[in-house]
Structure 1
Amino acid sequence: MTPAARLSGAIDLLCAIQNAPRRPADATANAFFRERRYIGGGDRRAISAIVWDVLRGWRRLQWHLKDISGDISPRLLCSASLLLGGETMENVRKLFSGERYAQKPLTSREDMALKGLEGKELSTQKQPIAVRLEYPDWLDSALRETFGNRLPDEMEAMLGTPTLDLRVNLLKGSREAAIRELRRESLQAEPTKLSPWGLRLDGRQPVTATQAFKDGLVEIQDEGSQLVVAAADARGEHRVLDYCAGAGGKTLALAMTMENRGHIVACDVHEKRLDGAVKRLRRAGVHNVERHLLVSGDKWAKRRAGSFDRVLVDAPCSGTGTWRRNPDARLRLTPEDIQELVIKQAQILDRAASLVKPGGRIIYATCSLLACENGQQIDAFLKRRTDFVRLPKEQMSELLPAELRNKAQFSLTPLRDGTDGFFACVLERVVADVKPEETTETTETAVTTPVAEGPST
């Protein structure tokens, strides 16, 4: 595709994202490219790069264009992003030639609005801090509660492009073997600093096309997610529940740490997500997992109360820690979303707690930066459930790096740790002070689907 055609594709994709404001941008982009299979991999990456630059600079772009009359269209946003990124007005005009596969020429209104941006920078100290750092105004106090004086630096790091992290599947080979396999396909991977199984690549790379991925030797997973699994310290003799398993990313890692022994139950309320886990589990050579679809109507949790050594709760959350890779999430998030999520997280914690055996552990995790979803959620839970305590630091998993083993809970940020933003806390069930009839019951049914044994062929 020509540069003009790529820009036209980016404008079309941005229009599609704007027309589905409550749908994640990556889901819209996946559907967009599925319908246009004629667009090659390199062109897809180029189109996506233009769109994600716009999404990362959304508030700053709007600020630069605030004085123009009328709507701020995707054409204006993409053009302004190019200009504020160093492109010249002359070259931008050429991209709107009106020729085949190119956008029609800029109107006089568009040209006038864009002309004044040439030579300027996207960020400026004249912008309000929430605009310059691309977060909602209403979240300012909550973010300051988390970061204090570090807020500008931490949020600046959130504006960067994320790395691509992989987890080596030790069921298939070593980290050194994975590095060699990837290098054979011209991908230069380096070991991550914190995760013992992690590899890191710069920017977007075609990992899913590599033989290492197809053979199940590597999985795409942020280093922070890997550390949540490390904190679980799941072993081969354990019975483990991944309560919010989704498509099974952490389930795969748990199976690896358990060396394919023991038993894992992967639960979720979304059937499509659980179905998506099957192919991944087989590719990874995992055969100690069964799936359960949680459906309203039965007392599945009550029948399995107190039966799990480890319960991982990767709770639904605001996703504020993933803003580097999901910048559109900043635009969708509302105060009402936070209120609903905090209630849902508390309910999930209470349900999951009833499934932990005495002496067992619950690992609560989010990809949120907000105290109300993290430490405050744990504090409130411990007031409700006096039979749980934070795990003594000397019992924290040795799979974690030393700097994360000094307390039962930890937070990760892009600035300090180079990961997505994560929170994790390990709780241990001790004396059962809660009477059985007082335990919160779930109104969910499990539809059990064993996963076929052995790797995919």
Structure 2
Amino acid sequence: MTPAARLSGAIDLLCAIQNAPRRPADATANAFFRERRYIGGGDRRAISTLAWDVLRGWRRLHWHLEGSQGEISPRLLCAASMLLTGTTMDQVRMLFSGERYAQKPLTPREDVNLKHLEGKELSTQKQPVAVRLEYPDWIEPALRETFGSRMADEMEAMLGTPTLDLRVNLLKGTREDGLRALKSEGLNAVPTKLSPWGLRLDGRQPVTAAQAFKDGLVEIQDEGSQLVVAAAGAKPEHRVLDYCAGAGGKTLALAMTMENKGHIVACDVHEKRLEGAVKRLRRAGVHNVERHLLTTGDKWAKRRAASFDRVLVDAPCSGTGTWRRNPDARLRLTPEDIQELVIKQSEILDRAASLVKPGGRMIYATCSLLAAENGQQIDAFLKRRTDFVRVATEDLPDLLPAELREKAQFSLTPLRDGTDGFFACVIQRVEQKVETSQEEAPST
């Protein structure tokens, strides 16, 4: 595809995203490219990059275009994004040539709205902090509660392009095997700093086309997500429940730490997500996993009460920790969403807790930056359930790096750790002693 055709594809993709405001942009993009299988891998990446640049700079672009005549359309946003990142006005006009597969020429009104942007920068100190750092105004108090004086630096890091993290599947080979296999296909990965199984690539790379991925030697999984699994400390003899399993990313990693032994139940309320796990499980060579769809009135949980050694609760959350990957989520999130999620998380914790056997552990995790979804959620749970306690630091799994084993809960951020934003806490169900009355005491 020509540069002009790629730009046209990015504008079409942004229109599709704009027309589905409550649907995640990556889901819209996947459907967009499925319907256009004639677009090759390199062109898909180029189109996605153009569109995601606009989504990452959404508030700043609108700030620059404030006062523009007419609609601030995807066409205008794409052109503004290029101008504010070094493209000249003449080059932009050439891309809007009106030739085959290119967008029609800029209108006189669009030209007027754009030409004053040439030579300017996307970010400027004149912008309000929330605009410059691309977060909703209403969420600033919650971010300051989490980060304090580090808030601006942490949110600046959220504007960057994320790395592509992989997990080596130890059921198929070692981390060194993964490095060699990827390198043989021109993918130069490096080991991650915190996860013992992680590999990292810069930017968008065609990993799913690599033989190492097709053979199940590597899986796409953020390093932070891998560390949540490490915190579980699941062993071959354990019965493990992945309570909010989705498409099975953490389920796969749990099976690996369990050496494909023991028993894992992957649960979710969405049938399509669980169905999506089948292909991944097969590719990874995993055979110790049972899938279960949670439905209203289901007696399954009651029959399996207090029967699991480990229960992983990767709770539905605001996703604020993934804003680098999902910049559109900043635009969709509302205060009402947070209120609803906090209630849902609390209910999920209570239901999942009933499945942990005495002496067993529950690992609560989110990809949120907000205290209301993280530490405060655990504090409230421990007040409700006195039969659970935070795990002592010395009893946390050795798989966790030393700096994360210092406490029973940990947070990860792009600025400090180079991962997505994650929170995890390990709590244990205590074995309560049964008091024996004097009358019932056995005779000696």
AA aligned opposite 2:289: V
Counterpart residue number, 2:22: 22
AA aligned opposite 2:298: D
- The whole-number CA distance in structure 1 between the counterparts of 2:289 and 2:280 is 12
Q: Deviation string for 1:75-117 (max 9, x for gaps)?
A: 0000000000100000000011111111111011100110000
Counterpart residue number, 1:124: 124
Counterpart residue number, 2:33: 33
Q: Deviation string for 1:10-46 (max 9, x for gaps)?
A: 1111000000000000111111111111111111111
Greater RCO, CA 8 A, separation 6+:
1
Alignment of 1:294-443 (within 5 A): 294-432=294-432
Identity of aligned residues (%): 85
Greater mean alpha carbon deviation, residues 82-91 or residues 425-434: 425-434
- The whole-number CA distance in structure 2 between the counterparts of 1:109 and 1:330 is 29
Question: How many residues are matched?
Answer: 434
Q: Deviation string for 1:364-385 (max 9, x for gaps)?
A: 0000000000000000000000
- Give 1:63 deviation, angstroms: 0.2
Counterpart residue number, 1:438: none
Q: Deviation string for 1:183-207 (max 9, x for gaps)?
A: 0000001000000000000000000
Unaligned residue ranges in structure 1 (runs of 5+): 435-457
Counterpart residue number, 1:452: none
Unaligned residue ranges in structure 2 (runs of 5+): 435-444
* Runs (4+) off by over 3 Å: 431-434
Counterpart residue number, 1:149: 149
AA aligned opposite 1:124: T
Contact 1:269–1:294 (CA under 8 A) maintained in structure 2: yes
Q: CA distance change for structure 1 residues 433 and 37 in 2, over 3 Å: closer, same or farther?
A: farther
RMSD: 0.9
Contact 2:69–2:113 (CA under 8 A) maintained in structure 1: no
What secondary structure does 2:30 align onto?
Answer: helix
- The whole-number CA distance in structure 2 between the counterparts of 1:368 and 1:278 is 27
Contact 2:239–2:309 (CA under 8 A) maintained in structure 1: yes
TM-score, length of structure 2 as denominator length = 0.97
Counterpart residue number, 1:172: 172
- Give 1:431 deviation, angstroms: 3.9
Q: CA distance change for structure 1 residues 433 and 303 in 2, over 3 Å: closer, same or farther?
A: farther
AA aligned opposite 2:387: D
Q: Deviation string for 1:56-79 (max 9, x for gaps)?
A: 000000000011122200000000
- Give 1:432 deviation, angstroms: 4.6
- Give 1:301 deviation, angstroms: 1.1
- The whole-number CA distance in structure 2 between the counterparts of 1:327 and 1:3 is 24
Counterpart residue number, 1:441: none
Q: Deviation string for 1:321-377 (max 9, x for gaps)?
A: 000000000000011100000000000000000000000000000000000000000
What secondary structure does 1:142 align onto?
Answer: helix
- The whole-number CA distance in structure 2 between the counterparts of 1:366 and 1:126 is 34
- Give 1:303 deviation, angstroms: 1.1
AA aligned opposite 1:297: G
AA aligned opposite 2:206: P
Counterpart residue number, 1:198: 198
